[in-house]
Every structure is written in structure tokens, then in C-alpha cells.
């Protein structure tokens, strides 16, 4: 098995690493304080200019056409510097991929170039509702045909990037009498559409630079041609795209975990106790060794899932395995980093407490760790016929 990256993948990874170090990392602390929105938007624009807003979109639509492995490598590097910027970039890529997968030729031509070049600062994925989180098939948002268009009514919650997104992919029930999951359709809604109202931003534990909002659809009118894919086939689309999104969250988790351990490894070589650097003590060495295994195992799981997707092979189980392991590993790595810093790790003077807060949500969004275990078990047992 060849684990070597292609020249293009290395180039993309290195470009992401450079932009992350030069532009994202210096802004991360301000974003965590709830400041610097202009810098965030400028950085998202810079990432789009360099091809990171549409990494797996075809070149004919302005995308980089670089593949899922390149996407995972890039999100890891961005997450290493600023989780808030990385999650916005990851979701924007998801929006581009779903349009490319099921959009009409007209929809692809109209929307993908604007995502790719940064005309839309971000894309948003409107699936979750208060009673339909882990089970989105139970959503209540309705879409009704009305005249030469659709009318959408409902409320979506925990929507990343909603405050500055230019385009929303929205799921709504079009056949209420169908059994759960069978009467749902997918729609494209541009920012500024009548009846699309962005609610308050949530006050979150971490990833403060990435706004998470309620999105209200109050008699929201969109043209008939804004339905995406076949009517009543939207839930299948959502399930397929969530699998791809899990690779992004896994890569983001790895980036945060790596940042925490990079900080911890540097600190233990400087910090002295009992007359020696704590890096020379067996206890800290073993802690670092365990986390190094976590980092490497996460990376291999992520790249395996990404490579399977690029080859057109089934990858849902592998994406869930990568997301589960990498997000749980990020929790272990950030917790270990705080422990190695000691009391200093609990203070905001050092970034490891921010890494711990930023990492916590990775075990929840794009499907909780518990949901990933259900998917892995289901796919595993399905093969035991």
C-alpha cells in the first residue's frame, strides 16, 4: 500500500500550512474573544482566492478539482491554526460538493463559481432542527408549491457561518404523509431571500469565531428551479453528504489535537521541576507517546476514508471511524496538553485551554460519537451475511 502523497497534495498542504501560519494563527486569539470578524472574512476570501473554498469541485466551475485527500490535508492545517476558520471552510466545501453531486447544470453554473471565488463568503448547511438532530428524518420544516415557486416554513438550529453565508442548502418536508426520511427535498436559498431570517448567535463554549445561528424560514419564497435533485429524494442526499463532511470534521479534530500537542511538547522541554526539564521524566514521556499514537492513527484513518472516497468506493463506515477516533483523540490530546502545562494550562495566557474548548464540539457536530458507533456497527454487521 502506497501512503505517499502526490506532488499536488503536498503543494496544497504546504500552501494551507503557510496561509494558516501567516494569516489564521495571528487572528485566532482575537476571534476567540469575539473580535476580528473583518479579519475572519478577509481570511476566508484569501482562502477562496487560493482554491480552498472548492477543493473537490471541478475546474470548469472554478474549483480546484484536487480531491478529498487534499481537502483533508488542508482542513487539518487550517484547524491547527484556527478551528473557527477551518470549520467555515469545511462546510463551504460541503455545500459545493452537494451542489456538484445533485445540482442541475444551471445550478452548478450559477452557484459553484461564486462559492469557489469567494463571492459567497461561505456556504451553510441547514439540516438540524430542535427535534431532528441525530435523527434528521423527523424534521418539521415544510416546503409547499405555491405559484411558480416554493414556500418554505420552519426553523433550523446550530447553523455554522449563517451570519455571513451567501448560500444555504436547506432540507424540508415536501411529502408529509411519507414515512420518515422519504418525503424530504433539498433546496438552494440565497442570502437575502424573502423570509430567510438569521436569528441570534449562540453563546458557545468554543470556536467563538465561527458564528452558529438559528435560521428562520418564515414564508420564505424561492423559485421553482431552486429545488436540488429529485423531489422527495433529499434525505438520501443529506446522508451521503454527511459522510463526506465527517472527513472534514475528523481532519479539523486532528489539526486541533496536533496544535495542542505541539504546544505541550515545546513546553515540557522548557519547564523545569526537580532540577530537570519535565520532558526528561518518564511520566510526561509516556503521556506524549500515547498521544503521538492518537495523532498518527487519526491521520491514517482520515487518509484512508478520503482515499476511498476519491476512488469512488464506499466510505461511510471509514468516514465514521475517522470522525469518531479523531474527535475522541482530540479530546485526549487537548486534555493531556493541559495536564502537561499544569496550572498554566488552565489559564488563558496559553492557547491549550482554547484548544480544549474548540475540540469539544467535534464529538457532537456532523453526528455525535454515539451516532458514529451506530453507523460503524450497522455497516460492520451488514457485511456478516
What topology is assigned to 7-121 in CATH?
Butyryl-Coa Dehydrogenase, subunit A; domain 1 (1.10.540)
Predicted pLDDT of residue 167: 98
Please write down the HEC assignment for all residues of the chain. CCCCCCHHHHHHHHHHHHHHHHHHHHHHHHHHCCCCHHHHHHHHHHHHHCCCCCCCCCHHHCCCCCCHHHHHHHHHHHHHHCHHHHHHHHHHHHHHHHHHHHCCHHHHHHHHHHHHCCCCCCEEEECCECCECCCHHHCCCEEEECCCEEEEEEEEEEEECCCCCCEEEEEEECCCCCCCCCCEEEEEEECCCCCEEEEEECCCCCCCCCCEEEEEEEEEEEEHHHEECCCCEHHHHHHHHHHHHHHHHHHHHHHHHHHHHHHHHHHHHHCEECCEEHHHCHHHHHHHHHHHHHHHHHHHHHHHHHHHHHCCCCCHHHHHHHHHHHHHHHHHHHHHHHHHHHHHHHCCCCCHHHHHHHHHHHHCCCCCHHHHHHHHHHHHHHCCC
Confidence at 3, pLDDT banded by 50, 70, 90: confident
pLDDT of 2 strictly over 80: no
Look up the pTM and report it. Answer: 0.96
Residue 163 has a pLDDT of 96
Category of 7 on φ-ψ map: left (φ > 0), alpha (ψ -120 to 50) or beta: alpha
Task: List, for residues 186-231, the tens digit of each pLDDT value.
Answer: 999 999 999 999 999 999 999 999 999 999 999 999 999 999 999 9
Percent of the chain residues past pLDDT 70, beyond the cut: 100
The residue extents of the domains of the chain are 7-121, 124-232, 242-382
b vs e for 113-147, b when ≥16 Cβ sit within 10 Å of the residue's Cβ?
Answer: bbbbbbebbbbbbbbbbeebbeebbebebebeeee
Tell me which residue of 171, 36, 50 sits closest to 102, measured CA to CA.
Answer: 171
Q: Which residues are catalytic?
A: 366
pLDDT digits (tens, 9 = 90+) for 264-300: 999 999 999 999 999 999 999 999 999 999 999 999 9
- N-term to C-term CA, the chain: 28
**224 in Cβ contact with 300 (< 8 Å):** no
Q: How far apart are CA 167 and CA 96, in angstroms?
A: 10
pLDDT, tens digit, 9 for 90 and up, residues 231-243: 999 999 888 888 9
Q: Is residue 55 a contact partner of residue 16, using CB atoms and an 8 Å limit? A: no
Provide the residue count of the chain: 385
124-232 has which CATH code?
A: 2.40.110.10
Q: 242-382 belongs to which homologous superfamily?
A: Butyryl-CoA Dehydrogenase, subunit A, domain 3 (1.20.140.10)
pLDDT over 90, % of the chain: 95
**295-342 confidence digits (pLDDT tens):** 999 999 999 999 999 999 999 999 999 999 999 999 999 999 999 999
Instruction: Name the grid cell of 57.
Output: 469541485
For residue 1, what pLDDT is reported? 67
Amino acid at each position: 500500500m502506497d501512503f505517499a502523497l502526490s506532488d499536488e497534495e503536498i503543494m496544497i498542504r504546504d500552501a494551507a500550512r503557510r496561509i494558516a501560519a501567516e494569516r489564521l494563527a495571528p487572528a485566532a486569539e482575537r476571534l476567540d474573544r469575539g473580535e476580528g470578524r473583518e479579519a475572519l472574512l478577509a481570511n476566508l476570501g484569501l482562502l477562496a482566492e487560493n482554491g480552498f473554498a472548492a477543493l473537490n469541485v471541478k475546474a470548469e466551475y472554478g474549483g480546484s478539482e484536487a480531491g478529498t485527500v487534499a481537502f483533508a490535508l488542508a482542513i487539518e492545517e487550517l484547524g491547527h491554526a484556527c478551528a473557527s476558520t477551518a470549520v467555515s471552510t469545511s462546510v463551504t466545501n460541503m455545500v459545493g460538493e452537494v451542489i456538484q453531486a445533485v445540482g442541475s447544470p444551471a445550478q452548478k453554473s450559477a452557484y459553484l463559481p461564486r462559492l469557489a471565488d469567494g463571492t459567497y463568503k461561505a456556504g451553510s448547511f441547514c439540516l438540524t432542527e430542535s427535534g431532528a438532530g441525530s435523527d434528521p428524518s423527523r424534521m418539521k420544516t415544510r416546503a409547499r408549491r405555491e405559484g411558480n415557486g416554493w414556500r418554505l416554513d420552519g426553523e433550523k438550529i446550530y447553523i455554522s457561518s449563517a451570519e455571513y453565508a451567501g448560500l444555504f442548502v436547506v432540507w424540508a418536508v415536501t411529502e408529509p404523509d411519507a414515512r420518515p426520511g422519504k418525503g424530504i427535498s433539498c433546496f438552494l436559498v440565497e442570502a437575502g431571500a424573502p423570509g430567510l431570517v438569521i436569528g441570534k448567535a449562540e453563546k458557545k463554549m468554543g470556536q467563538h469565531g465561527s458564528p452558529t445561528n438559528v435560521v428562520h424560514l418564515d414564508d420564505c419564497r424561492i423559485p421553482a428551479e431552486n429545488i436540488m435533485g429529485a423531489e422527495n429524494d433529499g434525505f438520501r442526499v443529506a446522508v451521503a453528504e454527511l459522510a463526506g463532511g465527517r472527513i472534514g470534521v475528523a481532519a479539523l479534530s486532528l489539526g486541533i489535537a496536533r496544535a495542542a500537542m505541539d504546544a505541550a511538547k515545546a513546553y515540557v522541554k522548557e519547564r523545569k521541576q526537580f532540577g530537570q526539564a519535565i520532558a526528561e521524566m518518564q511520566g510526561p514521556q509516556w503521556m506524549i507517546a500515547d498521544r503521538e499514537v492518537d495523532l498518527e492513527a487519526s491521520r491514517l484513518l482520515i487518509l484512508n476514508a478520503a482515499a476511498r472516497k476519491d476512488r469512488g468506493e464506499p466510505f461511510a463506515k471509514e468516514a465514521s471511524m475517522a470522525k469518531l477516533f479523531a474527535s475522541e483523540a482530540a479530546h485526549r490530546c487537548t486534555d493531556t496538553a493541559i495536564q502537561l502545562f499544569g496550572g498554566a494550562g488552565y489559564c488563558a495566557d496559553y492557547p491549550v485551554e482554547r484548544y480544549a474548548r474548540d475540540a469539544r464540539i467535534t464529538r457532537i457536530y456532523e453526528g455525535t460519537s454515539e451516532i458514529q458507533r451506530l453507523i460503524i456497527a450497522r455497516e460492520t454487521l451488514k457485511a456478516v451475511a
